[in-house]
Amino acid sequence: MIYLDHNASTPVRPEVAEAMREALAGSGANPSSAHREGQHERARIEQARERVAALVHAHPEQVVFTSGGTEGDHLALMGAAWGLRERGKTVAISSIEHHAVHGAAAWLKDLGFTIEHLPVRPDGMTDPSIVNDLPRDTSLVSLMLANNETGVLQPVAAVAARAHARGMRVHCDAVQCAGKMPIDTDALDIDYLVISAHKIGGPKGVGAVIVRPGAPLMPLLRGSGHERGLRGGTENLPGIVGFGCAAELALRDLASERTRLLALRERFEHGLKAIAPDAVIHGTSAPRLPNTVNVSIPGARSDHMLMALDAEGVAVSAGAACASGGVEPSPVLAAMGVPRELAICALRFSSGRTTTEREIDDALAAIGRAVPKARALAPA
Ligand code: PLP
């Protein structure tokens, strides 16, 4: 199989699996226990915390472990909005956020908050000046670092500067950026930054929120003092250890992987244009992640391409939502103003650590065979 769906999830790195195996084979003591065995397990968690903090240039005390990006986004958005409710009850999110952020915003709406949606330009980027137009009672602005569908990088630092000047806090979903681009939480000036282990060669079901000291945050899960009282529940020790190991390796390999993935992306995009000169690659006029290509090949619908590529052993994601009996344009592409007939042909190819040049060439050959099949299936 040629796996080009690394934005959905990544294979667990062998070193990570080994670190987790070792953690599972430990004493089994609770990291909160005062005895020596407990403290030994605690030390494993604190070492992972240091490694995760280093990946995003933060201090270990800022790291709050969660069950993943979705919980992290919920904790950051809901916990911050609730903690800041005296300041105002409007929360602004960009219109291209992941479902995890839209879901948390929907909860806030049910709780009586007003949600503002920031538009994006046709190039897929948010215009930072839009922050100046937000209502005065906006307490929190949420903007992702890189979009999961198009890979387009967002002007988070510029948005944060404007938001802070107006007394608003900033949440940033950095799930797709971690391990692919350097992240400096301080330089970006973010109050709440969210990352997830399974996007960087770590296990599924573990993530973190990086919280600026003093930034208000009400815990969603309460009951005990875990994670400095911000996230109750006995820690997922093997998951956290795996996350720490993955973070350390991702930081070590960051520069070399970025260069390698960029070269693969260029090779792939060049090949795509040779197969289908009318192919439209979304977001190319903006800075993008080195591993993500979102492309529409006119007349070749996403669902038909996905099936044809799957039969060829190439795993990718549709850049459109498959609805019963058809496809719907992705809200991200719709927000960018991509015409419907093009948006329903969008496919997302995302490479990663295991992707080789040979796989890119083989995937291109498979795409070349899939396009005429998909075009033949599309309604006139
Ligand atoms: N945010 C973004 C941008 C994502 O791409 C994802 C996963 O696809 C998430 C959040 C959710 O993370 P998790 O799968 O760890 O819950």
- Indicate the domain borders of the chain: 2-6+254-376, 14-249
Supply the pLDDT for residue 85: 97
Going through 266-359 in order, the beta strands assigned E by DSSP cover: 280-281, 292-296, 314-315, 317-318, 320-323, 326-329, 346-350
Supply the pLDDT for residue 206: 98
Residue of 296, 288, 290 lying closest to 318 (CA atoms)? 296
Mean pLDDT, the chain, integer: 96
Which positions are annotated as active-site residues? Answer: 322
Atom of ligand 1 nearest to the CA of 97: 3
- Mean pLDDT for 138-162 is 98
Nearest CA to ligand 1 atom 9: 69
- Mean pLDDT for 65-75 is 98
Supply the pLDDT for residue 319: 77
Distance of alpha carbon 61 from alpha carbon 208, whole angstroms:
12
Length of the chain: 380
Is the distance from the beta carbon of residue 69 to the nearest atom of ligand 1 less than 6 Å?
yes
Residue with tokens 């070590």: 252
**Mutational pocket test of ligand 1: of 71, 147, 154, 176, the residue with most ligand atoms within 8 Å of the beta carbon:** 176
Distance of alpha carbon 52 from alpha carbon 202, whole angstroms:
11
For residue 144, is pLDDT > 70? Answer: yes
Distance of alpha carbon 276 from alpha carbon 88, whole angstroms:
51
* Ligand 1 centroid distance, CA of 19 (Å): 23
Domain covering 14-249, topology: Aspartate Aminotransferase; domain 2 (3.40.640)
Supply the pLDDT for residue 142: 98
Is the distance from the beta carbon of residue 94 to the nearest atom of ligand 1 less than 6 Å?
no
* Ligand 1 centroid distance, CA of 380 (Å): 36
Atom of ligand 1 nearest to the CA of 197: 15
Number of continuous H segments (helices) and E segments (strands) in the chain: 11, 15
- Mean pLDDT for 360-365 is 98
Supply the pLDDT for residue 325: 64
Answering whether pTM is above 0.75, one says yes
Supply the pLDDT for residue 320: 67
CA distances from 215 to 7, 190, 352 (A): 30, 10, 34
Is the distance from the beta carbon of residue 142 to the nearest atom of ligand 1 less than 6 Å?
no
Split at pLDDT 50, 70, 90, the class of 288 is very high
Query: Which residue(s) pair with 329 in the sheet?
Result: 320
Which class would CATH give 2-6+254-376?
alpha beta
Atom of ligand 1 nearest to the CA of 198: 15
Is the distance from the beta carbon of residue 244 to the nearest atom of ligand 1 less than 6 Å?
no
pLDDT tens digit sequence for 218-254: 999 998 899 999 999 999 999 999 999 999 999 999 9
Strand 207-211 relative to strand 63-66, pairing: antiparallel
Tokens matching residue 256: 């070399």
* Ligand 1 centroid distance, CA of 227 (Å): 21
Is the distance from the beta carbon of residue 90 to the nearest atom of ligand 1 less than 6 Å?
no
Residue of 78, 102, 307, 73 lying closest to 207 (CA atoms)? 73
* Ligand 1 centroid distance, CA of 100 (Å): 7
Residue with tokens 């439209």: 280
For residue 380, is pLDDT > 60? Answer: no
Split at pLDDT 50, 70, 90, the class of 15 is very high
Is the distance from the beta carbon of residue 70 to the nearest atom of ligand 1 less than 6 Å?
yes
For residue 322, is pLDDT > 70? Answer: no
* Ligand 1 centroid distance, CA of 147 (Å): 10
For residue 180, is pLDDT > 80? Answer: yes
Supply the pLDDT for residue 224: 84
Atom of ligand 1 nearest to the CA of 68: 15
CB 86 within 8 A of CB 110: no
* Ligand 1 centroid distance, CA of 288 (Å): 18
Split at pLDDT 50, 70, 90, the class of 324 is low
At 181, which helix (H) or strand (E)? none
* Ligand 1 centroid distance, CA of 70 (Å): 6
Distance of alpha carbon 326 from alpha carbon 209, whole angstroms:
37
Residue with tokens 């920031």: 118
In a 10 Å sphere around its CB, with 0-12 CB exposed, 13-18 middle and 19+ buried, how is residue 80 labelled?
Answer: buried
Same fold, 2-6+254-376 and 14-249: no
Supply the pLDDT for residue 148: 97
**Mutational pocket test of ligand 1: of 196, 198, 317, the residue with most ligand atoms within 8 Å of the beta carbon:** 196
Supply the pLDDT for residue 197: 98
